[in-house]
């Protein structure tokens, strides 16, 4: 029987992350052959992975990373089964190592086939499944390129976002962090209402009206205040004619209320803004530029980036919650 030294066990443990006894047993079985011991541990990982293939991996760590030039960024989520494992420092560090590798790949498939210390990322996942005892997999993979790319990772590593700007301004780091924080918190899925599919907007309008009308039947029965039933839910629907008609209706209302015409100019803009706000709920949920800026709700995200003299060219978000 080959004599196994503490140094050999330590080397194998450092290379694989496996426990001391697992490393010692693998070296004993491999008769001191390091590469064979690695293979033994990997096979153990495959057996564990096969047994846990149907397990849910809803926990994990979401990591964002950008290159030194801030022209490319990536988000990777390393998923596991339990929050206990997700919070482990070694697990989070492994996720960070994966993100560093992912930064130099262009797709999830390419990333899974990339080299990780002599094996592929996919093989490393199997190996670590054996080490940790839980199913591991790469959940999200998102890549962003631009003139300046920045990121934000929410506390706890459950949500991360990337933002690309049209140019590298003096406070680009702050701006991209602010916008990425907005994306992480508010969950926008598209840049502007102009990017929405008219058919989707029409279908969503019908669905939302139906839900509110049903809720109002119950509210009326209970003698409670009814919810506002919107005619529209997106700026995409508010044509110039509709806006003009809304303005006319506001003026007619002011006239009926006996408000002096000389003060209408001070009242109409606010009421028109309220009309637009009440009828663009979909935009405020899904469209980044149309959302109220979380750090100053008196302005939209579009207003904020305009004040900085840049445009948002791309953004991505990955979440485990």
Tens digits of residue pLDDT in 192-249: 999 999 999 999 999 999 999 999 999 999 999 999 888 999 999 999 999 999 999 9
Lowest mean pLDDT segment, chosen from 4-8, 43-47, 68-72, 158-162: 43-47
Tens digit of each residue's pLDDT (9 = 90 or more) over 141-151? 999 999 999 99
Residues 130/41, Cβ–Cβ less than 8 Å: yes
**How would you class 171 by CB atoms within 10 Å of its CB: exposed for 0-12, middle for 13-18, buried for 19 or more?**
exposed
**Residue 273 clears pLDDT 70, i.e. is over it:** yes
Percent of the chain with pLDDT over 90: 76
Distance of alpha carbon 278 from alpha carbon 273, whole angstroms: 9
- Please state, rounded to an integer, the average pLDDT across all residues of the chain: 92
Tens digit of each residue's pLDDT (9 = 90 or more) over 60-110? 999 999 999 999 999 999 999 999 999 999 999 999 999 999 999 999 999
195-208 residues labelled b (16+ CB within 10 A) or e (exposed): ebeeeebeebbeee
Phi, psi of 39 (to 5 degrees): -65, -40
Q: Which domains does the chain have, with CATH numbers?
A: 6-51 (1.10.8.10), 59-187 (3.30.479.20), 194-306 (no CATH)
pLDDT at 90: 92
pLDDT at 1: 57
pLDDT at 147: 98
Task: Provide mean pLDDT across the span 166-179.
Answer: 97
**Residue 111 clears pLDDT 60, i.e. is over it:** yes
Tens digit of each residue's pLDDT (9 = 90 or more) over 274-306? 999 999 999 999 999 999 999 999 999 999 999
**Residue 47 clears pLDDT 80, i.e. is over it:** no
For the chain, give the number of residues: 321
**Residue 3 clears pLDDT 80, i.e. is over it:** no
**Residue 118 clears pLDDT 90, i.e. is over it:** no
Decide: pTM greater than 0.85: no
Distance of alpha carbon 78 from alpha carbon 108, whole angstroms: 12
**Residue 178 clears pLDDT 70, i.e. is over it:** yes
**Residue 49 clears pLDDT 70, i.e. is over it:** no
Task: Provide mean pLDDT across the span 299-314.
Answer: 97
**Residue 50 clears pLDDT 80, i.e. is over it:** no
């Amino acid at each position: 029987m080959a004599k196994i030294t503490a140094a050999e066990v330590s080397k194998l443990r450092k290379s694989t992350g496996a426990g001391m006894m697992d490393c010692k047993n693998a070296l004993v079985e491999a008769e001191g052959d390091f590469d064979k011991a690695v293979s033994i541990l990997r096979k153990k990982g495959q057996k564990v992975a096969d047994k846990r293939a149907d397990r849910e991996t809803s926990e994990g760590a979401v990591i964002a990373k950008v290159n030194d030039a801030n022209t490319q960024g990536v988000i990777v989520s390393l998923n596991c089964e339990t929050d206990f494992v997700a919070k482990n420092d070694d697990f989070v560090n492994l996720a960070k190592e994966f993100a560093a590798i992912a930064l130099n790949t262009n797709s999830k498939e390419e990333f899974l086939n990339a080299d990780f210390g002599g094996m592929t990322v996919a093989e490393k996942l199997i190996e670590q499944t054996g080490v940790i005892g839980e199913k591991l997999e790469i959940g999200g993979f998102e890549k962003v390129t631009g003139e300046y790319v920045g990121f934000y990772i929410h506390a706890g590593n459950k949500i991360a976002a990337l933002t690309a700007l049209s140019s590298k301004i003096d406070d680009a780091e702050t701006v991209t962090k602010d916008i990425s924080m907005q994306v992480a918190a508010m969950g926008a899925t598209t840049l502007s209402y102009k990017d929405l599919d008219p058919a989707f907007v029409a279908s969503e309008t019908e669905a939302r009206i139906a839900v509110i009308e049903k809720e109002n039947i119950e509210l009326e029965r209970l003698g409670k205040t009814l919810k506002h039933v919107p005619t529209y839910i997106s700026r995409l629907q508010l044509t110039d004619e509709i806006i003009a008609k809304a303005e006319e209706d506001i003026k007619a209302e002011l006239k009926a209320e006996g408000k002096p015409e000389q003060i209408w100019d001070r009242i109409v803009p606010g009421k028109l803004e309220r009309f637009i706000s009440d009828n663009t709920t979909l935009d405020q949920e899904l469209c980044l530029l149309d959302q109220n800026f979380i750090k100053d709700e008196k302005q939209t995200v579009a207003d904020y980036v305009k004040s900085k003299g840049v445009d948002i060219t791309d953004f991505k978000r990955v979440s485990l919650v």
